[in-house]
Chain A
Amino acid sequence: MRGTWTVFKKEFREFFTSPTGYIYLVVFLVLTQWLFFRGFFVIGQASVRGYFSLLPWVFLLFIPAITMRAWAEERRNGTLEILMTLPLRDPEILAGKFLAGFAFVVLSLLLTLTLPISVSLIGNLDWGQVVASYLGALFLAGAYLSIGLFASAISANQIVAFLLGAVFVFFFFLLGMDWVLATFPPGVAAVLQYFGLGYHFESIARGVLDLRDILYYLSVMAVFLYLNLRSMEVWRIGG
């Protein structure tokens, strides 16, 4: 626990020791607000659903950008050797990195709360749906983060890590899209749909918190964090 907290603080602080973290936040906020208000007055509904349906697309680039440095930079600068010779367990280090990214996403999402608040001033907003959507966004972000971290773990530098992360996430996201599923036989399509990152988010964005969706996101996180732990073992073997 102590180790996780220590690594968490270091990682979270790193977002803000350079302008990068601030730039991410600004770009994320500007982009999401713009995407939201662009359609908001056209639809003319007091709802944030349109906004949340865009979130998986924004996260597609936003989250790999958060995670790209996590391992690739440590490996490139050799600081991995410092980190891995401190008396910390591998899962503690990994958890610290994951939670730091998660905290950054939470911070970004907190800053978007202005959206539902301003909408609720104009019209009658369904707050239940908003809360459910935010919760869903957190699970979605957790899944993306675990994928992005793994991409960073297997990449030689942060640019590769970013691209690889985005590709991985995009791949899992596409699996659940209707127009992709339409090209498969129904039986296969149903299975693929279950593995799609976006499919599970759609129901959450409608305001339905289903245990199956949550379990899905948790299992994606478990799988990719496990793969990440295995990469750490591979580094110790000298791979």
Chain B
Amino acid sequence: MIEVRDLTKAYSTTLAVDHISFTVRKGEVLGFLGPNGAGKTTTLRIITGYLLPDEGTVTVDGYDVLSQPLQVKQRIGYLPEDNPLYLEMKVREYLDFVAEARGLTGARKRDAIDRVLHLTNLEDKYRKTIETLSKGYRQRVGLAQALIHDPPILLLDEPTSGLDPTQIVEIRNLIRELGREKTVMLSTHILPEVQATTSRVIIINRGRIAASGTLDELLQKASEGEVIHLELRNPPQEVEPVLQSQPWIESFHRIAEEDGAYRWTLRGPEGKDIREDLYRLAVEQGWTLRELWRERATLEEVFLNLTTEEATA
């Protein structure tokens, strides 16, 4: 549905997006995850035709954003970052304007407005001036605007930023619901957001794609970084030759000594949980086992690793 190839965009001094390529498939809900300033907004702005790329191509539903921007814009519903709105307008006037700009007139326009008002639960705010609405309602107006032409593709830039927890849940539920029939690309710097709404994630950092995959795949990746902590009362001279000789221990490091007890971190073969083997080994050897636990990287840590490693590199 969306094809991004070798996209590059620099502002006067900084490279915002650095040769990124990715595909958003029809019907999927893609999370575009990254810290602030990673290039998410720039990428979305290029896809929507608000900004021009320096290099690379973007095609939406087969239309090139540079040569056929109107066709692209017709297929996209867009909620920009910080949800800009014409505050002095009434909700009705605003939706009316957007609907007409999207070529809806007469009965089709009225139907479209009724549909999005219902969808976003704005029916009783219809006559209100946008300025008088709370942040949560304004966000719904922004979404209503993005949905007015029933677009096949939705691009949402930080759709829950600045909302309170109840409003966040509401908006996420709405996004999930919309994701059933639409292709959604959702940018966020909040990890739980993608866990709550999306099926696939692209992690972007400093203008480059740091990782991509389904949530399960990323968690799988996280488990590769899993280590076992072992603490014994026995001295290293006694323990380490034994550990060395076990084929199922890939590597071990002594990391601490405390009150005559020693602590190691160990790695087993990929995907294998070696805690029980370690327990049996300790029993066999008559070691005094003080602690045995698994440190598992969470998605949070994967995200942090991916987005901070490069920052320090």
Binding site for B on A (CB under 8 A): 2-3, 6-7, 9-10, 13-14, 17-18, 77-82, 84-89, 236-238
Contact = CB atoms under 8 A, between A and B. Distances in A.
Interface in B85-142: 85-89, 93, 97-98, 100-103
Contact of A77 (B9, B50, B87, B102): B87
B78 interface: yes
Contact of A86 (B11, B73, B93): B73
Interface string B54-95: 000000000000000010011010101110111111000100
A54 B208 CA distance: 61
B145 interface: yes
B24 interface: no
B73 A236 contact: no
A81 B98 contact: no
Interface residues of B, number: 30
A85 B80 contact: yes
Contact of A238 (B9, B73, B78): B9
Contacts of B100: 2, 6, 9
Contacts of B102: 86-87
Nearest to A3: B101
B49 interface: yes
Contacts of A7: 101
Nearest to A80: B84
12 contacts: A6-B100, A14-B86, A17-B88, A78-B82, A78-B84, A80-B84, A82-B85, A85-B49, A86-B101, A237-B51, A238-B51, A238-B52
A82 B84 contact: yes
A77 B84 CA distance: 6
B92 to A, nearest CB: 12
B48 interface: yes
Given A9-B97, A238-B9, A87 B70 contact: yes
Contacts of B145: 82
A152 B93 CA distance: 24
B45 interface: yes
Given A14-B86, A85-B80, 14 more contacts: A6-B97, A6-B100, A7-B101, A17-B88, A77-B86, A79-B85, A82-B80, A85-B48, A86-B73, A87-B73, A87-B101, A236-B50, A236-B51, A238-B11
Contacts of B89: 17
Nearest to B74: A87
Contacts of B52: 236-238
Contacts of A18: 88
A86 B77 CA distance: 9
A23 to B, nearest CB: 15
B101 A88 contact: yes
Contacts of B9: 238
Contacts of A9: 97, 100
A82 B144 CA distance: 13
Contacts of A87: 70, 73-74, 101-103
B103 A2 contact: yes
A79 B51 contact: no
Nearest to A239: B12
Contact of A84 (B11, B50, B74, B85): B50
Contacts of B101: 3, 6-7, 86-88
Nearest to B157: A81
A86 to B, nearest CB: 4
A8 to B, nearest CB: 11
Nearest to B16: A238
A1 B98 CA distance: 15
Nearest to A13: B93
Contacts of A2: 100, 103
Contact of A85 (B78, B81, B85): B78
A7 to B, nearest CB: 7
A2 B87 CA distance: 24
A234 to B, nearest CB: 10
A18 B88 CA distance: 8
A122 B145 CA distance: 56
Q: Which 5 residue pairs of A and B lie closest in terms of their CB atoms, listed nearest first? A: A78-B84, A87-B73, A86-B101, A6-B100, A17-B88
A215 B70 CA distance: 34
Contacts of B51: 236-238
B103 A81 contact: no
A177 B85 CA distance: 44
Interface in B212-227: none
A189 to B, nearest CB: 42
A237 B42 CA distance: 11
A14 B50 contact: no
A84 B73 CA distance: 10
Given A86-B102, A88-B101, A238-B11, A81 B88 contact: no
B91 to A, nearest CB: 13
A79 B142 CA distance: 11
Given A9-B97, A86-B73, A79 B82 contact: no
A167 B50 CA distance: 31
A13 B74 CA distance: 25
